[in-house]
Amino acid sequence: MVNNDSPAILNFVTSLLNFPDTAVIEILHSSDGREITLVVKSTHETLPCRICNKPTHGHGLGRTLRFRHLSLLGKETYIEITPRRGICTDCDDHPTTTERMGWYERSSKMTKPYEQHLLFELVNSTVADVSRKEGTDYHAVEALCDLYEGYMNACKEVFDNKVPVVADRFHVRKLYRKSLVTLRKSELTRLKKQLTTDEYAELKPAIALLKKHKDYFTEEEKSIVEKLFSLSPKLKSAYQFSRELSGIFDSHITPTEAKEKITHWISAVTRSSLKCFNHFIQTLIKYQTQITNYFIHCNNSGFVEGFNNKVKVLKRRCYGLASATRLFQRLIVDTVGVIRFAPGVAAF
């Protein structure tokens, strides 16, 4: 990397970037000349506490974050920032706060303007094509269509509020299950350090059962996981909350009733000592209307998601076929072949 930190150039790029409360402090070029990295910093004078909103005292720096941004001069552009951290002396337990800027999402690896750019690129195109053209991760582009505010706003603009925007249950479940998996991994890491090798080995049947992502256990399965839950009450509580939320989505209730039940669920989780659902709860509150719209007709994209996964597996199995015709013949045979060509067998 070579840098260019002339004050005039830095000021010009800062104005060009047009991010509020952000200044460019260094410009780095890759040795092959294909990438530009803009190192930026916050110009905020104080860092408010995330709980009481009072000014905090400096507490070092967080880890450096790197985001993909809109291309400059035809080169891939990245933005790096090392957020400040502060500690609050007014709150109990003196919580720490890491600074966040408004031009990126917490869990994203792209800036908001770049995410908007990808959404426009998806018009009359596919996720795979956009991923290839932009040199970005396929799943990162795909995630823009799942509970993404820009995508929802585009839908509202097209349908003019005549059609309700529904957040699919499949993706909501994926979010709270992800929180559950994160807690499970951390608790298993803790138990592995505390228990002997033989004691931890006895937990493997329970661990294997939890990895199946089941919402409900049989009596026999309950006896298997109970030993693990007795060693980790936090994990047991998290699975109970997960089952309760799944139970709400399994209920045939109105959106109003669902909103009330979900609000009670959020209150119960907040009162508990669990922190693993904090990020999911923020999403749940932010998109509560879209999520509870699911209960209007209780439709979901489970079939489409399952069919897409099946096609992806079949594509891998058909690797090496030179003819597109043969590929589609194989897809038809493996997906609807029994129904079309052997209906008698399908009946059994």
pLDDT tens by residue, 17-53:
999 999 999 999 888 888 999 999 999 989 999 888 8
Q: Judge whether 129 lies within some domain.
A: no
Q: Looking at the structure, tell me whether residues 183 and 290 fall in a common domain.
A: yes
Q: Looking at the structure, tell me whether residues 196 and 287 fall in a common domain.
A: yes
* DSSP code for 56: P
- Quote the CA–CA distance of 297 and 252 in Å, as a whole number: 9
Q: Judge whether 229 lies within some domain.
A: yes
- Quote the CA–CA distance of 155 and 163 in Å, as a whole number: 9
β-sheet bridge partners, residue 23: 41
Show which of 87, 102, 117 is a domain's final residue. 102
Nearest C-alpha neighbor of 209 from the set 234, 226, 230, 190: 226
String of b and e for 236-264 (b: at least 16 CB within 10 Å)? bbbbebbeebbebbeeebebeebbebbee
- Length in residues, the chain: 348
Q: Looking at the structure, tell me whether residues 260 and 186 fall in a common domain.
A: yes
Q: Looking at the structure, tell me whether residues 173 and 288 fall in a common domain.
A: yes
Q: Looking at the structure, tell me whether residues 342 and 287 fall in a common domain.
A: no
DSSP string, 265-296: HHHHHHHSS--TTHHHHHHHHHTHHHHHGGGG
Confidence at residue 2, expressed as pLDDT on a 0 to 100 scale: 47
Show which of 56, 80, 102 is a domain's final residue. 102
Confidence at residue 138, expressed as pLDDT on a 0 to 100 scale: 82
β-sheet bridge partners, residue 72: 75
Predicted confidence pLDDT, tens digits, the chain (348 residues): 545 568 888 999 999 899 999 999 999 988 888 899 999 999 998 999 988 889 999 999 999 999 999 998 889 999 999 999 999 998 888 889 999 999 998 778 899 999 888 888 887 788 888 888 888 888 788 777 666 666 777 777 777 777 888 888 888 888 889 889 999 999 999 999 999 999 999 999 999 988 887 777 888 888 999 989 999 999 999 999 999 999 999 899 999 999 999 999 999 999 988 889 988 898 899 888 889 998 988 887 777 778 888 888 888 888 887 788 888 888 888 877 766 666 665 444
Show which of 52, 71, 102 is a domain's final residue. 102
Q: Judge whether 213 lies within some domain.
A: yes
> Which domain covers residue 314, as residue numbers?
308-347
Q: Looking at the structure, tell me whether residues 29 and 79 fall in a common domain.
A: yes
Tell me, what amino acid is at 182?
A: T
Token pair 């058909």 in the structure block, residue: 318
- Quote the CA–CA distance of 306 and 226 in Å, as a whole number: 32
Q: Looking at the structure, tell me whether residues 87 and 180 fall in a common domain.
A: no
Number of domains in the chain: 3
Confidence at residue 4, expressed as pLDDT on a 0 to 100 scale: 57
Phi-psi region of 135 (alpha: psi -120 to 50; beta: other; left: phi over 0): left
How far apart, in Å, are the Cα atoms of 264 and each of 46, 180, 258, 268, 336? 35, 19, 10, 6, 44
Q: Judge whether 42 lies within some domain.
A: yes
Q: Looking at the structure, tell me whether residues 319 and 240 fall in a common domain.
A: no
Tokens at 342, concatenated: 């052997």
Q: Judge whether 13 lies within some domain.
A: yes
Question: Whole-model pTM?
Answer: 0.63
- Quote the CA–CA distance of 126 and 134 in Å, as a whole number: 12
Confidence at residue 342, expressed as pLDDT on a 0 to 100 scale: 60
Hey, is 161 helix, strand or coil?
A: coil
Q: Looking at the structure, tell me whether residues 189 and 284 fall in a common domain.
A: yes
Q: Looking at the structure, tell me whether residues 340 and 244 fall in a common domain.
A: no
Confidence at residue 81, expressed as pLDDT on a 0 to 100 scale: 95
Tell me, what amino acid is at 128?
A: A
Q: Judge whether 152 lies within some domain.
A: no
Q: Looking at the structure, tell me whether residues 292 and 322 fall in a common domain.
A: no
Query: Mean pLDDT over all residues of the chain?
Result: 86
- Quote the CA–CA distance of 237 and 240 in Å, as a whole number: 5
φ/ψ of residue 308, rounded to 5 = -60, -45
